[in-house]
Amino acid sequence: MQSSTDSLSSSSGVRKRLLPKEGENPAAFAGEIDIASRAALAYTSDDPGCPIDDLIDGHYGRDSTFRSGAEPNTMERIIVEFDQPQSVSWMICEVETARVRGRRK
């Protein structure tokens, strides 16, 4: 069994590795780009109660602040438009999904 830091091979040729378990908050990221001052966020829709601003407020992990689109169960697109070219070697995108079971009548 491979550790979480070992690279895994894939039949598609994608290089990948498992991350540490949930609950391990990321440490302060050296060189983290201040998106609010260096970029605009373009988006397809916004829920006023969970605005796009929450996406970059510095809170991470389960049950932290979040952003939500205006309508449930729709595809959303978010684009980070930098004012000037940036050197980006990696980025983090946390997605938490909620499944709601309904009853058919």
Show me where the domains of the chain are located: 35-82
What is the chain's percent helix, strand, coil content, to nearest 5? 10, 15, 80
Is the pLDDT at 75 greater than 90? The verdict is no
Question: Higher confidence at residue 103 or residue 4?
Answer: 103
List pLDDT tens digits, range 45-54: 988 888 889 8
Distances (CA, A) of 73 to 1, 17, 68: 37, 29, 11
What is the structure's pLDDT at 39? 95
User: What's the confidence (pLDDT) of residue 3?
Assistant: 46
pTM above 0.85, yes or no: no
Summarize pLDDT for 20-63 with one digit per residue, the tens. 766 555 555 667 888 999 999 999 998 888 888 988 888 877 77
Q: Assign 39 to helix, strand or coil.
A: strand
